[in-house]
Amino acid sequence: MEKISGYYHQKYAEAFADLGKSLPLHLANGWLLQKNIPNTEYYDVTSCYPFLCCQHWDKLALDLAELNEQNVSLTIVTDPMAAFRHQDMVELFDMFKLYKQHYIVDLTSNYASSISVHHQREIKRATGKLYVNVIAQPITLLPEWLNLYNQLISRHHIKGITAFSENAFRQQLNVPGLVMLAAYAQQCLAGIALWYQTQHSTYYHLTAYNELGYKTGASYALMAASLDYFCQQNIHWACLGAGAGAYEKQRDGLAEFKAGFATTTKPVYLAGKILNPTLYQRLSEQTHTTHSRYFPAYRDGEYA
């Protein structure tokens, strides 16, 4: 039986307690997040950040049928490594559309030869200035991680679900399968990368750097060291995620960075399901969003 870890684990879902209540998918073996709809007694349900991981996608419909009528709608992003039949998902959801292409590294391949010439040059430059350690007890670097991540929030004006609280990070660092790598320049911390490892895959969760890290190319040193580490752990797939923003239009800097390491891509889908049509219509009318293309319509503009 596969050991539960990372995004599949209950403790990861519980790290979102600031935002809502974790809901188990008993048959599919995964977790959702139930959130209150502002100014109402009702709820809607979403996947946790960054997407839904579950072991048995063919059982998802049975779990969703058990959600009570207090839940107005469901919105999920699918795991790039998910094993489901596309047609099954189209039939299960009211909306099911391509969201992004995620960058993937096949660690059983000669992945180092696939790294772009630019990235190889940057890795060589960075590793001449930095060394990378795998941190045995990630929680011991919580203060340092918070400092780095708060700098990231300020730099990129991060809001919403990824503006994690200290308590959320404390829980995330204690989730089974969390792997932390830290880059140093002459014993001075330059950056940290967080991954969640499962039996066959590892997911690039979050990274943050300080000014020293940006100057020394810590992102390249950390990614190269991470891929080598997980290869040594006999992990098959490294999932690097996608570019920034709600939808992909053109490659941004983050997408270019990940693409330079990737050996392939896999699609991620955005799915929405109306659980209570009467309430969904009523809330959409109250918020004057009946004709909105956003899902769920009644939350259109809420995160602007």
Identify the burial level of 283 via C-beta atoms within 10 angstroms of its C-beta, where 0-12 means exposed, 13-18 middle and 19 or more buried.
Answer: buried
Residue 155 lies in a domain: yes
Given this model, what pLDDT does residue 301 score? 82
Given this model, what pLDDT does residue 302 score? 78
Residue 86 lies in a domain: yes
Residues of the chain with pLDDT under 50: 1
Q: Has this prediction a pTM greater than 0.85?
A: yes
Given this model, what pLDDT does residue 211 score? 97
Given this model, what pLDDT does residue 247 score? 58
Question: Does 192 share its domain with 240?
Answer: yes
- d(C-alpha 180, C-alpha 229), whole Å: 11
∠ at Cα 218 (215, 220), nearest 5°? 115
Question: Does 221 share its domain with 279?
Answer: no
Residue 1 lies in a domain: no
Q: Which pair of tokens denotes residue 144?
A: 């340092």
Given this model, what pLDDT does residue 249 score? 60
Residue 161 lies in a domain: yes
Q: Which pair of tokens denotes residue 259?
A: 């693409």
CATH number of the structural domain spanning residue 130: 3.40.630.30
Ordered strands of the 21-25 beta sheet? 21-25, 30-36, 43-47, 71-77, 264-274, 95-106, 237-241, 201-209, 188-197, 178-185, 131-135
Question: Does 192 share its domain with 278?
Answer: no
Question: Does 163 share its domain with 195?
Answer: yes
Question: Does 47 share its domain with 180?
Answer: no
Rounded to the nearest 10 degrees, what angle do helices 117-127 and 218-232 cross at?
100
Given this model, what pLDDT does residue 252 score? 82
Question: Does 172 share its domain with 256?
Answer: yes
Given this model, what pLDDT does residue 170 score? 98
Structural domains counted in the chain: 2
Q: Which pair of tokens denotes residue 29?
A: 């073996």
CB distance 222 to 245 below 8 Å: no
- The predicted-structure confidence for 269-302, as pLDDT tens digits, reads as follows 999 999 999 999 999 999 999 999 999 999 998 7
Domain span at 112: 103-266
How crowded is residue 67: how many other Cβ atoms within 10 Å of its Cβ?
A: 18
Given this model, what pLDDT does residue 2 score? 63
Question: Does 128 share its domain with 244?
Answer: yes
Question: Does 131 share its domain with 246?
Answer: yes
CB distance 18 to 168 below 8 Å: yes
Given this model, what pLDDT does residue 41 score? 95
Residue 304 lies in a domain: no
